[in-house]
Amino acid sequence: MSEPSYPEDLRYHPEHDWARIEGDEATLGVTWYAQDSLGEVVFYEGPEVGSSVVKDEPYAEVESVKAVSDVVAPLSGEVIEVNPDLSDAPEAVNTDPYGTGWLIRIRLSDPAEADALMDSAAYSASLE
């Protein structure tokens, strides 16, 4: 994915993470800006299924050719799925950050936290 893209249906955290909220669950990942800044992602290890993530706290590390970076949770909840494809193909974070490159799915512990996240326009403006 070469052009910056911030889908309208997602909510964004200032630490360059996105959330796709569906009822009381959310899929989380890193934004186009984050993967572009990281460079080529070579390794991702997610949290354990059943563990908890806390809004604004790191829950995983992404390793790129440049650096190891924390991934910060945009919302709090219980991990219900970790993307199994990233162990073999971590580059999906670069090529399709909003699709096959998603990181984890959680069951939200406090859905109201989403109100503090940015929409696409606000997030794009924050990058300028």
Residue 2's pLDDT is 67
Number of domain units in the chain: 1
Its domain, for residue 57, covers: 23-107
Query: What is the CATH classification number for the domain harbouring 31?
Result: 2.40.50.100
Q: CB–CB of 45/37 below 8 Å?
A: no
Residue 86 lies in a domain: yes
Q: How many CA atoms lie within 13 A of 8 on its CB side?
A: 0
Residue 115 lies in a domain: no
pLDDT tens per residue across span 95-128? 999 999 999 999 999 999 999 999 999 999 999 9
Residue 123 lies in a domain: no
3-state secondary structure of 82: strand
Model-level pTM? 0.96
Torsion sign (Cα): 45, 47, 110, 57: negative
pLDDT tens per residue across span 18-37? 999 999 999 999 999 999 99
List beta partners, residue 27: 20, 105
Confidence band, pLDDT 50/70/90 cuts, at residue 3: confident
